[in-house]
């Protein structure tokens, strides 16, 4: 009898400990569904249940997505998970201790693909987080990564942070991401790894289009979609009305967002999907176009951001109005980060790592372009905005601030100067600048700028830039 009481007392003590109370059971939700588009089911205790928005998911659930279907989940540690179409994911374990500091994750991707931004658990030792696949086990430490299973093998991308790859065959034990040789890899069926210098085409796949009724994308006021997905702006903007070359309806924007630099103005507008350097541009209801021989430049900087830009020597208005044009025109076309995702960001960020740029000045070749700004996502204030560039015998410098409100980024040029290296004299500079967030969760900013000498506007510099935080956040 005494032994029975002792065992009972020990059992009560164990059950009352924080560690025991915090451990997930099969009946406790591990997360909830943010979006269920198409056919999304969870197999639970031998029964199948359709998942919809706000449906909970549990330990031992096997989640399956059908053709042209996708799902997004927010887990108990604030991780976001985006499941591809034709995918199968098993939730073996997802524990988050009561102290908010410890936890463990074991998931198994059986088929298809996923991308995820890890939460609090993923910021610990990589041994606390495992994603099992048919050929390898993936570990992480605070990251944004993507996995796609194909007939040939498995593709991986470490978009931020790092991941480790250990194949079941023992043929590969390597790492991707920050501080490593590559951010992308392919693992064949035999478990052999091949590091890739560029993102494989499979990661440029587009999300399935929403159903006609659009209810799958409806958001409650206290929720947001997963920031790992880039929502196609074609779902928000009317399509072009002329077979992809841009519409002329004054009341409707074109399919893509745009920043346009003409004269001494940098303004936001929209652009068509033309990819030959001659998109139609719309600014305040007016359509701008050009001829092939007037295209001076066209490029698509960096494959991971949907950005295009170019420069025209001349342009005209579709309405037939004359265009005063002395400096040509610079245009930037892009798909911006969904506003719902930007509204959910918090804290502060310093964007100053230049990824790509294109600038022109009448004073000669432009070099050493620098752009930076601090953004407080809590207050929406943009501070310490600075832009500078070198041209032969001169330095351009400008300062700006701005505001982020409801996902809209507004930048305001404040003051600037042009420094003459020959005599060290400075003259006043006026300017204009505009920018927008790009990337799945606003990890970069694309923008355009113009600066010109106040007392001699013929001296100018303008161009485009793409910047992000140094750590890729």
**Can you point out the beta strands (E) in 126-209?**
129-132, 136-140, 144-149, 153-160, 162-167, 173-177, 184-188, 193-196
Alpha helices in 315-426 (DSSP H): 339-342
User: How many residues appear in the chain?
Assistant: 473
pTM over 0.75: no
Tens digit of pLDDT for each residue in 308-335? 999 999 888 876 565 655 668 999 999 9
Q: How far apart are CA 286 and CA 319, in angstroms?
A: 7
If residue 147 lies in a helix (H) or strand (E), which one and from where to where? Answer: strand 144-149
What are 300's two structure tokens?
């698509």
Q: How far apart are CA 412 and CA 414, in angstroms?
A: 6
Residue 88's SS3 state is strand
Is residue 230 within 8 Å of 306, Cβ to Cβ? yes
What are 243's two structure tokens?
């077979």
If residue 459 lies in a helix (H) or strand (E), which one and from where to where? Answer: strand 456-468
Please name the residues in contact with 321: beta carbons below 8 A apart, sequence gap of 6 or more.
286
Phi, psi of 145 (to 5 degrees): -135, 170
Phi, psi of 38 (to 5 degrees): 85, -145
Handedness of CA 98, 99, 100, 102 (dihedral sign): negative
Q: What pLDDT score was predicted for residue 94?
A: 75
Handedness of CA 459, 427, 386, 411 (dihedral sign): negative
Is residue 418 within 8 Å of 453, Cβ to Cβ? yes
β-sheet bridge partners, residue 456: 453
What are 353's two structure tokens?
């790592």
Give how far Cα 408 sits from Cα of 32, 58, 218, 253, 444, Å: 28, 37, 20, 16, 14
Tens digit of pLDDT for each residue in 125-177? 566 788 999 999 999 876 788 999 999 999 999 887 889 999 999 999 999 98
Question: β-strand 353-361 against 456-468: which pairing, if any?
Answer: antiparallel
Q: How far apart are CA 448 and CA 465, in angstroms?
A: 6
78-84-87-92 Cα dihedral, nearest 10 degrees: -10
Residues of the chain with pLDDT under 70: 1-27, 96-102, 122-127, 142, 204-251, 275, 319-327, 470-473
Describe the strand order of the beta sheet including 286-289 as a list of residue ranges.
295-299, 307-312, 329-334, 256-262, 265-271, 281-283, 286-289, 316-317
Give how far Cα 363 sits from Cα of 266, 399, 409, 417, Å: 20, 20, 30, 14
Task: Name all domains of the chain by residue range, CATH numbers in brackets.
Answer: 19-204 (2.60.120.1440), 238-334 (no CATH), 339-468 (2.40.160)
Q: What pLDDT score was predicted for residue 440?
A: 81
Q: How far apart are CA 270 and CA 342, in angstroms?
A: 20
Q: How far apart are CA 267 and CA 283, in angstroms?
A: 8
Phi, psi of 287 (to 5 degrees): -95, 130
- 214 Rama class: left (phi>0) / alpha (psi -120 to 50) / beta: left
Phi, psi of 246 (to 5 degrees): 105, 140
């Amino acid at each position: 009898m005494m032994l029975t009481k002792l065992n009972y007392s020990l059992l009560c003590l164990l059950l009352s400990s924080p560690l025991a109370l915090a451990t997930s059971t099969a009946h406790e939700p591990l997360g909830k569904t943010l979006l269920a588009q198409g056919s999304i089911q969870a197999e639970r205790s031998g029964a199948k249940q359709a998942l919809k928005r706000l449906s909970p998911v549990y330990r031992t659930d096997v989640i399956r997505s059908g053709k042209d279907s996708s799902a997004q989940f927010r887990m108990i540690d604030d991780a976001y998970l985006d499941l591809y179409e034709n995918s199968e994911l098993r939730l073996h374990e997802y524990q988050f201790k009561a102290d908010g500091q410890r936890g463990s994750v074991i998931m198994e991707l059986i088929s298809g693909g996923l991308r995820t931004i890890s939460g609090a658990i993923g910021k610990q030792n990589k041994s606390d987080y495992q994603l099992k696949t048919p050929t390898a086990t993936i570990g992480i430490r605070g990251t944004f990564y993507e996995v796609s299973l194909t007939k040939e093998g498995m593709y991986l991308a470490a978009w931020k942070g790092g991941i480790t790859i250990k194949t079941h065959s023992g043929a590969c034990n390597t790492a991707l991401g920050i501080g490593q040789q590559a951010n992308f890899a392919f693992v064949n069926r035999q478990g052999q790894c091949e590091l890739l210098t560029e993102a494989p085409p499979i990661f440029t796949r587009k999300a399935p289009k929403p159903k006609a009724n659009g209810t799958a994308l409806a958001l409650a006021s206290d929720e947001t979609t997963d920031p790992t997905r880039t929502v196609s702006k074609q779902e928000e903007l009317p399509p072009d009305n002329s077979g992809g070359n841009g519409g002329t309806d004054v009341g409707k924007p074109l399919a893509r967002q745009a920043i346009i630099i003409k004269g001494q103005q940098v303004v936001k507008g929209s652009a068509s999907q033309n990819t030959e350097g001659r998109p139609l541009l719309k600014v305040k209801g007016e359509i701008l176009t050009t001829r092939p021989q007037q295209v001076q430049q066209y490029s698509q900087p960096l494959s991971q951001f949907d950005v295009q830009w170019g420069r025209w020597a001349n342009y005209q208005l579709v309405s037939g109005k004359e265009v005063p044009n002395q400096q040509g025109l610079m245009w930037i076309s892009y798909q911006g980060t969904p506003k719902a995702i930007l509204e959910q960001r918090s804290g502060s960020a310093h964007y100053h790592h230049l990824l790509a740029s294109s600038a022109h000045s009448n004073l000669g070749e432009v070099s050493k372009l620098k752009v930076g700004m601090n953004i407080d996502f809590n207050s929406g204030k943009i501070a310490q905005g600075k832009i500078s560039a070198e041209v032969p015998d001169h330095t351009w410098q400008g300062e700006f601030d701005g505001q982020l409100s409801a996902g809209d980024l507004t930048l305001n040029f404040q003051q600037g100067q042009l420094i003459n290296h020959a005599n060290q004299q400075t003259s006043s500079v006026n300017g204009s600048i505009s920018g927008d967030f790009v990337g799945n969760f606003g990890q970069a900013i694309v923008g355009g700028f113009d600066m010109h000498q106040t007392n001699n506007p013929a001296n100018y510099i303008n161009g485009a830039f793409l910047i992000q935080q140094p750590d890729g956040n």
